[in-house]
Structure 1
Amino acid sequence: MIDENLAEYVGLPVVGFEADDGEEPPAGPVAWKVATEFDEEPFPDVWKRFCATVDTASVTALVIGYWGASYDEHHHYPVPLLVEAAASFPNLRSLFLGDMTYQESEISWIEHEDVSPLFRAFPALERLDVRGGSGLTLQPFASASLRVLRFESGGLPAGVVRAVAASDLPNLEHLDMWLGTENYGGDATVADLAPVLSGDRFPSLRRLGLEDSELQDEIAEAVAGAPVVARLESLSLAMGTLTDRGAEALLAGQPLTHLRELDLHHNFISEPIQRRIREALPGVEIALEGAQRDVPYIEVSE
């Protein structure tokens, strides 16, 4: 989850860049991580040293960690730096933007700007993970290369959700959106998800996560009849405020027996309804752990 920094990314060990640590460079492919620390060296300086030290042409996976905050005099958003250096990373295929734990920055305090330029600068990008939603913007874009798009957020802006839904991504296989709470900017509605759920978008989609939402019951009700579900192998409605209402909608809706995985962990579903779900989907790997019994709340917000 988000309480530890990545140790592995796209099957590669994550190695932090430290130009002055005196250690030998790692043998074999790695996912390089570039980051600074609070009130330490400005991120642009670390980035400049990284680009001058590492064989950037061989980098296929890149993890960007702490880059500062508005209360940190060294705050500098990394996307413009990445775009400026794009020609030096001809083989970059996977990018994680915002690998920070709560000790570095609460997820809803991670300050973003527009990430749209990344797709123009890296047209061969196959995967983008973004953690944090504050200030995050995205314009509709086209990419024939992108296969995985993930947003981890305590509040994903509706403009980002609508931009994703309006994008041309014919080979997208995996889409995750942690929708969050309106208290932290998560103002998307179920209507904003309609283009994704219609099945008209993203013909290659096989895994869909619409998670961590205060509207989890409403989302489940929409998913229960959504055409896109028929082509999915994995569906996640986890981490949100899913109750018996949403679970019963799933049970009464279209068959889900074709799924390999159904993730409903961190839920507010009663034990009798949980049993009905398991009985109705005997061949599906179902995650129902983390059932709560108090007032519904999402798993990740601040």
Structure 2
Amino acid sequence: HLEASLFFALTMTTEEIKNYYEERHKQLKTELTTLENFMSLRGKVLPRRRAEILEDRINDLAMKVTNAQGRLDQIAKIPSFTTTLRWRKAENYQETKRAWEAFWAFYWLYKDFPKHDNVENFLYAAFASANGVKNREKSIELGEEYLANTDWKSFRADVTFIMANAYQSEAKVQDALAKSLDGAISTKDREAGSVAKTKAEEYYNRFFELCDRFLEVMPEHEYSRDFINMMGSVYFGRKRFDDLLVKFAGVENGVMDRSKGYVNNEKFNKSPAMPPAHYFSGLALLATGKFNEAKPLLGALVGVNVT
């Protein structure tokens, strides 16, 4: 029992230990006061042996009260290692495959210490764990909270990539549902199709917002290529060639506006995103029958001037 108690104590935070001894001190003090009051009122008329037993109990309680107070005095001088210990606990849950317990441990660590120096790490761990247990609601909640803070960049690429993929996947699901209900006869199915179509657009819009925001904040990151490829694939899959040309090349109604588009943005001159942006722009122009306009964009990929 003693070894188990000591082992458990090693997993308790300073605050938990303090609460334990405060409660213990309170209980012992209450019992001691009750017995002392009883003895002052009835002690003289009690049988001698009974009185001796109660006196021993009072002395024992008095010692325990003193010890509990001593513990509280010691604890008051101990620095708090609460966040470190809670982080270790969460990691242990993770290492022992207790995924849901790990998620909630990381989640509440982040929620309980939003001003901590390592809060970015707490949040990312909670986000990654939420994805691990497929808690979509919490994954989106935590991912959005991370991305809302533009000062956080340690995990921005991974968070944005996961979030963008999640929104894209959900948009495809809703898009497919809407198409399957297109031309439905019943009012219920038509309404469901309309809702699915609206949701698909919302998810696609959020997907593009995430990609744009990442490329704006970290244009030279290696993931920038992946975000361009994802957006290009979505545009082509939905046959939104005109939208792609506006975003990627600044081409609208067949005319290039040099103030718009990724390929015209100086921030992307050294970005890994530039080659795929040229590639998709050239393909989109080819897909819309603008062969001559596609030549300079595709030529830029191989470093030649195509005429």
Q: Which has the higher strand share?
A: 1
Q: Which has the higher helix share?
A: 2
Band the TM-score falls in, shorter-chain normalisation? 0.3 to 0.5
> Relative contact order, CA 8 A, sep 6+: which one is greater?
1
